[in-house]
Structure 1
Amino acid sequence: MLLLSILSLAATAIAAPRAIADCTRSVLEGATADYIAAQTAGSSAGIKALSTSLNYTENDKAATVATGILATALKIDHTKSTYDLTACATYTELIITDTKLPSVIGTQMRFTNGQVTKMQTLVTKKGDWLFDPASTLKWAKTEDWTTIPDAKRDTRAVIQAAADAYLDIFKDKTVKVPWGTPCDRLEGGSYTGKGTATDSCNVGIPNNIDLVNRRYVIDETLGTVDVFLSFGGPTGRPDSHEFRIESGKIRYVHTLTVMT
């Protein structure tokens, strides 16, 4: 019986997702701060954790940090970052209203042995879906994405399941989505919320759309999950859907969709 118990515990440990030993919140926060400073300066040189073998994409196309958006200095109005200690990854949202290069950017970074080995960036600008950085900034500043107390935090599985249900309903309207009430969706610069207790995100969802190639960054302390995906099938548009989950229900949704 003792042997069976030991084997059972070992199997559970192998199956369960575990935080990477050298991946701490302070490491991820430091790298994210470096990334934001680098984008402000227009030079990737300040990202100390950047691997020499970095895999970098911009709007789902292979690129380099030397010639991509990181090479352009941006005046950033607002940032929001989340940290995934299990996958050792981060997500950062940047809002830029400066008329020189208005944009809303989402970046996922993934780490191996303390270094950023993969960086995927989505850059939305004029011509992209519902693009309006001034409106995006206005609404983003009204929301509460602060730390959730320990006793009220959802598990990683619950957070991802809520996001997947939302994304799955685009294809299958029988899917049960854990809608929160209120729930507010910031889609480009368009906002579904009106500041009332009955605000809903269950509006304007199209039919028969595949949202595939999902890449997750989950932060249980903030109740968040960001999902990079292809909107409309394997060769669809580059897209980010970020969710705030509270008590198993969807509270906020932020979307970026590259059209140009």
Structure 2
Amino acid sequence: MQGLLSLAALAALAASLFSASGAAQCARETLVAATNKLIAAQTAGTPDTMGALEGVAYLEQFKTADVTKGILKTPLTLDFNRSLHDTVQCTTYTEMVSAKGSHPYVIGTQMHFTPEGKLTNLSSLVTDQGDWLFNATGTLYWASREKWDVIPEDQRDSRATIQAAADAYADIFNDKSAKVPWGSPCARLEGGAYTGNGSANDRCDVGIPDGVALVNRRYVIDETIGAVDVFIDFATVPDSHEFRVEKGKIRYVHTITVMGG
């Protein structure tokens, strides 16, 4: 556990250094083009749509995998997708929902690039039946009703504020004294289960366990939509927590948790 905590600390330090400078390292257009290629590759089941993948670290469920045998080889009709583009860290996150096919999936993918736009790491969490609260139909229903639009530039939170909100949420699983900036309303989409009903009374601060360490945090922050995705070791299982933050408060949370290995 100590090793994992050290990795988390290093990740947080790196992210904080990026946040402090706030200087773009990558062109947003380059990152948008990359997530468009990812969506096209997943739709067609053709990994080479991403370009040459030799030398690219490819992971599924946080384990090294063979891209020629992975989820990208499976053509999927995507009923919903949304991407975050982090121009400071040269990273992206894409949430993809395939709910209406014969084999439903919910997938979360982080990609890492050099400042020149070369893909170096593609890591996906692939969930289906048997994973935590999996229900792709429920995920599609609620995700498609939420508002994650672009925030006017003069109203955006800083990268540090957005990350701090995510960290406070992750901290409270193991430290009930953590001060989480809960929004009102706030709704959590956990697998296909929703903590709200789309009303002004929706809450996220329900059903949170205790004594669970969320460590080895890897962030993708997109301040244009007030969002951050965090790949996390949720105790012993691979997990993604994605947040929408508005005026420093958590508005939405999406979780993807792999239980099936």
Q: Same fold (TM over 0.5)?
A: yes
TM-score normalised by structure 1 residue count: 0.90
The one of 36, 54, 66 equivalent to 2:39 is 36
Structure 2 CA distance, aligned partners of 1:26 and 1:116? 14
Matched, 1:167 2:176: no
CA deviation after TM superposition for structure 1 residue 65, in Å = 1.5
Question: In structure 2, what residue type is equivalent to 1:244?
Answer: R
The one of 199, 205, 209 equivalent to 1:206 is 209
Write the deviation string for residues 167-206 of structure 1: whole angstroms up to 9, x where unpaired: 0000000010000000010000000112221211000000
Does structure 2 conserve the Cα–Cα contact (< 8 Å) formed by 1:184 and 1:253?
A: yes
CA RMSD of aligned residues (A): 1.4
Higher-Rg structure is 1
% identical aligned pairs = 56
Matched residues, number: 242
The one of 21, 24, 46 equivalent to 1:19 is 24
The one of 69, 84, 99 equivalent to 2:86 is 84
Does structure 2 conserve the Cα–Cα contact (< 8 Å) formed by 1:51 and 1:115?
A: no
Structure 1 CA distance, aligned partners of 2:158 and 2:24? 14
After TM superposition, the structure 1 = structure 2 runs for residues 58-73 of structure 1, keeping only pairs within 5 Å, are: 58-73=60-75
Classify the secondary structure of the residue corresponding to 2:174: coil
Structure 2 CA distance, aligned partners of 1:229 and 1:239? 5
Write the deviation string for residues 86-137 of structure 1: whole angstroms up to 9, x where unpaired: 0000000000113422110000000013111001100000000000000100
Matched, 1:156 2:159: yes
TM-score normalised by structure 2 residue count: 0.90
Classify the secondary structure of the residue corresponding to 2:259: coil
Q: Which position in structure 1 is the counterpart of 2:252?
A: 252
Q: Which position in structure 2 is the counterpart of 1:56?
A: 58
Does structure 1 conserve the Cα–Cα contact (< 8 Å) formed by 2:100 and 2:137?
A: no
CA deviation after TM superposition for structure 1 residue 75, in Å = 1.0
Question: Larger relative CO (CA 8 A, sep 6+): 1 or 2?
Answer: 2
Classify the secondary structure of the residue corresponding to 2:67: coil
Does structure 2 conserve the Cα–Cα contact (< 8 Å) formed by 1:223 and 1:245?
A: yes
Structure 1 CA distance, aligned partners of 2:73 and 2:53? 17
Q: What 5-or-longer segments of structure 1 have no aligned partner? A: 1-11
The one of 119, 122, 125 equivalent to 2:128 is 125
CA deviation after TM superposition for structure 1 residue 17, in Å = 4.6
Does structure 1 conserve the Cα–Cα contact (< 8 Å) formed by 2:134 and 2:192?
A: yes
